[in-house]
Structure 1
């Protein structure tokens, strides 16, 4: 019998669970501090009520609490230190003392910063008053005690942990009763002490206390697995893998999960589970749960007849480790075979896809059908490994993603044509077509994502091959990402816009706004707003060669205004118009091209008018807009960067590759329209009318509050502000449009109060009031299946 002499060269391990807990503790600390600061008056009242209420407590109760609190700061660390020394944990005691000292110094430093911050709310939340002289907001001793106890792992130790918990509560309560601190402060003290203790523990690592190989051997023998040889095959971030040869000649793989590695991979899996909708990516903190899940999935899949490594034994080795022994499969994975430039046979691909169908029929999703987990055994059979990430009672979406990854793996290992031909025999056309939207790299398991990162064409070609099975099928796209950077940017921009705009509302009085406004101008703004929908209708129809109901097209423009309430300005309008035209009988490519070309025409007319009105406004004496030096420098730098970018081949080619498809689609339509002067003239006039209607609405809104701005200046400010607003990621350009227009008006000499009032009226007339009729038009078109 051969047994490895050493377990590992590591003396300490950084527990992933400590990192996860540390981040959570810091987040809770920030939240408690923010809430306490925001509701400083409320928390101060609670502290005063608590102090008043405790005065009615019997004196002996207060005496006991004070005694426990006063003595615990000395005796608890002494008891814990003795306990550590008797158990030969000198290193742990040194780390605990270091953490306590660091915690004390950190809280003293934070207290000084709080006092010097001159933030009345923060000081009131942490001290219960506004006096800062001779006051230490935070209690370094409590935090130091908590850090010491965290490093010593006292809270995990029965009676000693109970004594420590009571001592901390008594110490905190005694400070509250004496009026020396606040509830928020005590929570922050405990949380910061806990966080610093975890930070030290994670930085220096936890002394390894894992089950020895001898203990593992005893557990295997007691389970009836008598072996001749056992060797450490691999040590990963999640555990140890031993390969053992039994007396019978069979080989097994023993996965040993140690307590110190609890939480390994949790942050990545949680983040993926939060951002990707396929769910099931959440890993638990408990190593026992992971082993149990692996065993459950293995038994469930094996029961369907699919070949998987059988579970030989699952057992705990003392309280520190748990292992699962699995059958060792002799063979090669699809990935290994592919690396040797050997193609998988058609029969093997068919057996693999048959196994996938068998699992799905039992509502089991493997969720990691990468080529590395599919084995061809020495007998030529197909076996599936890596079942630990699977799911029983799998949802329809999980099964679609599972099949998508299986098809990707089969296509990678064989060919797309052969894979599709085999899949047609096993799955219905409907099943395969519904899989197309799920063929996305983001939905696949890690190994497959890594492969597809350098083989993106495979997914494109596979989707194309499956799409040929039913060319006219209506595919519903799947958005797997819950959280996108675009949404984060949108939320951030909204917050910034509110931060900029809300203070400006204090400059105007709603009563004065209503009583002083010239409402005839407001009526003009409203009429001009209504004309924009007729202009946009005419513009869209000028690019359509087939008959389309004009009234419904007008309704679609109103519906688009409702869609922009929840999407960026251009995006909502484009999506609604393309869908409307498609339902109206216009082919998909023609609808997309018509809408795209209309946006191009609007853009060029918009830029042309911006230049024209800029020149006109610049020749007028009432236009005092003078860009600052920094603005001119920024524009020069941007222009220089654009020139530099186009001078670089890679950048220029990237831009051309992105824009070439757009012009290739829009080019034929523009060429046809150019040969029809009437359509070309109609599109130009409609685009000019659309811009002029918005300019008139903006000019009228400003005149409603007595502004003496010229029409040319108002037009220039509107066109410039609208350009910036259209690029904003916020719904309807909310915040960005208002900020840009107000900035332009104030720069041109309009008082900020008048500028804000006029912009708000303009936005009400052109954005907010059309929402209700837009909602009705949206619902009406949907009820008639026209949208």
Structure 2
């Protein structure tokens, strides 16, 4: 009897390719669902506050929120020499906002923008330098506005309002100790010191190059000032919508003080810590606790929760299109 010879099957081949990008597209939506379930009571109360608010002021707050993505796009472009595609850059800032609220503060947006710049052809070392320059400019812009408002309205906040609620002094001392240990390690380890020195040289070179172009420098520093100013304006508009008896400039000062202080608490998007710090600073500015809480909940609904689902969808679409 003649043996039947079966065809050889290819070795080392999976029966079907795993759709990695399709799976990654669903991850942001899954994280949104988890965050919404965890904060469902906050969402319900926040949407309840919006029903009693003045809608023209709420629309002004929404417009200010939309303009923050434009300001972020200007700052990102100002931090890098290469021209970035404008529409994709703006879409990336919208998506980065969603990523920033789903991951520890600053990490999500930084990862999205770093990937976007590398896909656009900017080398990784210079993309990292541009990211560091953006973070520095954003920090300087926020602190500059805070210092200017404190100088203009020195009695607007009661002493102690610059520390977020729930952050004891031992935690601050511990954070200072960690920074000291990190500095000691950096000085001691030669290889790490060499890597950091190389990065700093790249970053300084990128900063010098950007500031030789007036348009880039204007976009960088103008956007870094406009971004926190628009955020503060959004809170002031919500305060007006809910008749918070605090002057708008004092509300802006309270917002800047709270966000500077809450940077010490690395929660996802500042969820939880931002609300507590904002309520503390608004009360310190003279607002009743109940109304201040309502303003903060409504503001966070407009700036965080409403854009979160479309932002997550945009993030998934950008991943699928290989923009990031």
Range of TM-score over shorter length: 0.7 to 0.9
Asked whether 1:627 is paired with 2:160, we answer: yes
1:408-455 C-alpha deviation (Å, 9 max, x unpaired): xxxxxxxxxxxxxxxxxxxxxxxxxxxxxxxxxxxxxxxxxxxxxxxx
CA contact (8 A) 2:103 2:269 kept: yes
Which residue is equivalent to 2:253?
A: 716
1:747: Cα distance to partner? 2.2
2:136 aligned with 1:603: no
Pairing 1:215-614 to 2, within 5 Å after superposition = 513-614=49-150
Q: Does 1:677 align with 2:214?
A: yes
**What TM-score do the two structures reach when normalised by structure 2?**
0.75
Cα RMSD of the aligned pairs, angstroms, is: 3.8
The CA deviation at 1:509 is 9.4
| 2:61/2:234 contact within 8 Å kept | yes
- 1:653 partnered with 2:190: no
Secondary structure class of the residue paired with 1:545? coil
1:737 and 1:768 map into 2 onto residues whose CA distance is 14
Q: Is the 8 A contact 2:234 2:299 kept in 1?
A: yes
Q: Is 2:243 the partner of 1:706?
A: yes
Matches within 5 A, 1:31-50: none
Cα 1:668–1:510 change in 2 (3 A) is closer
Distance 1:574 1:505 in 2: 26
**Structure 1 pair 750/654, CA: closer, same or farther in 2 (3 Å)?**
farther
Structure 1 CA distance for aligned equivalents of residues 188 and 253 of structure 2? 33
2:25 match: none
Partner of 1:767: 304
Return closer, same or farther for 1:663/1:712 CA change in 2, 3 Å cut-off.
farther
Task: Decide whether aligned partners of structure 1 residues 566 and 586 sit closer, same or farther in structure 2, where only a CA change above 3 A counts.
Answer: same
Question: 1:758 — aligned with what?
Answer: 295
Matches of 2:46 and 2:258, distance apart in 1? 25
Does the Cα contact within 8 Å between 1:568 and 1:728 map onto a contact in 2?
Answer: no
Partner Cα distance (1:642, 1:552) in 2: 39
Deviations 1:323-343 (A, max 9, x none): xxxxxxxxxxxxxxxxxxxxx
1:548 aligns to what SS in structure 2? Answer: coil
- Cα-to-partner distance string for 1:152-210 (whole Å, 9 max, x where unaligned): xxxxxxxxxxxxxxxxxxxxxxxxxxxxxxxxxxxxxxxxxxxxxxxxxxxxxxxxxxx
Q: Deviations over 1:249-288 (max 9, x none)?
A: xxxxxxxxxxxxxxxxxxxxxxxxxxxxxxxxxxxxxxxx
Relative distance call for 1:663 and 1:708 in structure 2 (3 A) is: farther
Q: Decide whether aligned partners of structure 1 residues 626 and 519 sit closer, same or farther in structure 2, where only a CA change above 3 A counts.
A: same
Larger RCO, structures 1/2 (Cα 8 Å, 6+ apart) = 2
Per-residue deviation, 1:515: 4.7
SS of the residue corresponding to residue 598 of structure 1 reads: helix
- How much does 1:728 deviate? 3.0
Distance change in 2, residues 1:763/1:515 (3 Å) = closer
* 3-state SS in 2 of match to 1:564: helix
Residues 709 and 652 from structure 1, CA distance in 2 versus in 1: closer, same or farther, beyond 3 angstroms?
A: farther
Q: CA 1:711–1:651 in structure 2 vs 1: closer, same or farther (change >3 Å)?
A: farther
Specify the SS of the correspondent of 2:102: coil
CA separation in 1, counterparts of 2:303 and 2:267? 17
Which residue of 2 is the match for residue 616 of structure 1?
152
Instruction: Count residues with an aligned counterpart.
Output: 285
Tell me how far apart the structure 1 counterparts of residues 285 and 188 of structure 2 sit (CA, whole Å). Answer: 39
In 2, Cα distance between equivalents of 1:663 and 1:589: 10
Could you tell me how far 1:758 is from its partner in structure 2?
0.9
CA 1:663–1:609: 2 relative to 1, 3 Å? farther
Asked if the contact 1:724–1:737 (Cα under 8 Å) also holds between the matched residues in 2, the reply is: no
State the 1:612 CA deviation.
1.5
Q: CA deviation at 1:517?
A: 1.2
Structure 1 residue 776 displacement after superposition? 2.8
Question: What secondary structure, in the 3-state scheme, does the structure 1 residue paired with 2:232 have?
Answer: helix
Bigger radius of gyration, 1 or 2? 1
| TM-score with structure 1 setting the length | 0.33
Unpaired segments of 5 or more residues in structure 1? 1-493
Task: Identify if the C-alpha distance between structure 1 residues 652 and 541 changes in structure 2 by more than 3 Å, giving closer, same or farther.
Answer: closer
1:778 matched residue in structure 2: 315
Tell me the CA shift for residue 617 of structure 1: 2.4
Q: Is the 8 A contact 1:724 1:736 kept in 2?
A: no
CA deviation string 1:124-148 (max 9, x = no partner)? xxxxxxxxxxxxxxxxxxxxxxxxx
Q: Which has the higher strand share?
A: 1
Match of 2:323, SS state, is coil
Cα separation, partners in 2 of 1:627 and 1:727, compared to 1, 3 Å:
closer
Contact 1:673 1:680 in 2 (8 A): yes
Counterpart among 272, 285, 295 of residue 748 in structure 1:
285
Looking at structure 1, the residues matched to 227 and 46 of structure 2 have their Cα atoms a distance apart, in angstroms, of 32
Contact 2:97 2:109 in 1 (8 A): yes
In structure 2, stretches of 5+ residues that fail to align are 1-34
Residues 126 and 203 of structure 2 are in contact (CA less than 8 Å); yes or no, is this contact kept in structure 1? no
Counterpart of 2:26? none
Residue 202 of structure 2 is aligned to residue 665 of structure 1: yes
Shift of residue 574 of structure 1? 0.3
Compared with structure 1, are the counterparts of its residues 607 and 652 closer, same or farther at alpha carbon in structure 2 (3 Å cutoff)? farther
Partners of 2:267 and 2:46 in 1: CA distance: 27
